[in-house]
């Protein structure tokens, strides 16, 4: 092997070790219709979307939860209430981020961002 080939192998290996690798993210949709009918503690615990997010986050608490909500005042109120419920279910607020990126007015996309080091 030439020096150049060895140097390239070392460079690729060295760079590969310094970056984080993202595993497959999990995505869930929370529909406004579902949210409006079950906005109390007992009802939320029966909501499959929320229980699955909490379950998957609990397996790896290094994950981040991104809430992609519809813009506007109504969307902001909805996402803030959802964040509060996640906190009450044991997920720290530092693990939750929100952005007005939902493509639908009646859906919050919940994305578990799985960071693997």
Q: What is the CATH number of the domain that holds 46?
A: 3.30.1330.60
The one-character DSSP state at 101 is -
Does any domain span residue 10? no
Does any domain span residue 3? no
Does any domain span residue 32? yes
* Whole-number average pLDDT of the chain: 80
Question: Concatenated DSSP letters for 19-61?
Answer: S-EE-PPEEEEEEHHHHHH--SHHHHHT-HHHHHHHHHHHH-T
pLDDT digits (tens, 9 = 90+) for 4-37: 433 333 333 333 433 344 456 889 999 998 888 7
pLDDT digits (tens, 9 = 90+) for 74-87: 999 999 999 999 99
Does any domain span residue 11? no
- The pTM is what? 0.75
Q: What is the number of structural domains in the chain?
A: 1
Q: Residue 33 phi/psi, 5° resolution?
A: -60, -45
Does any domain span residue 99? yes
Residue 47 clears pLDDT 50, i.e. is over it: yes
Does any domain span residue 77? yes
pLDDT of residue 42: 80
Does any domain span residue 5? no
Domain hosting 75: range is 20-116
Does any domain span residue 88? yes
């Amino acid at each position: 092997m030439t020096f150049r080939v060895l140097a390239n192998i070392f460079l690729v290996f060295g760079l590969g070790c310094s970056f984080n690798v993202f595993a497959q993210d999990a995505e869930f949709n929370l529909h406004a219709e579902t949210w409006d009918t079950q906005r109390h503690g007992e009802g939320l615990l029966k909501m499959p979307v929320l229980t699955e997010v909490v379950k998957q986050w609990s397996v790896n608490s290094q994950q981040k939860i991104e809430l992609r909500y519809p813009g506007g005042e109504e969307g902001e109120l909805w996402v803030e209430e959802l964040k509060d419920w996640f906190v009450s279910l044991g997920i720290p607020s530092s693990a939750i981020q929100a952005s007005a990126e939902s493509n639908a007015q009646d859906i919050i996309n919940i994305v578990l961002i799985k960071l693997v080091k």
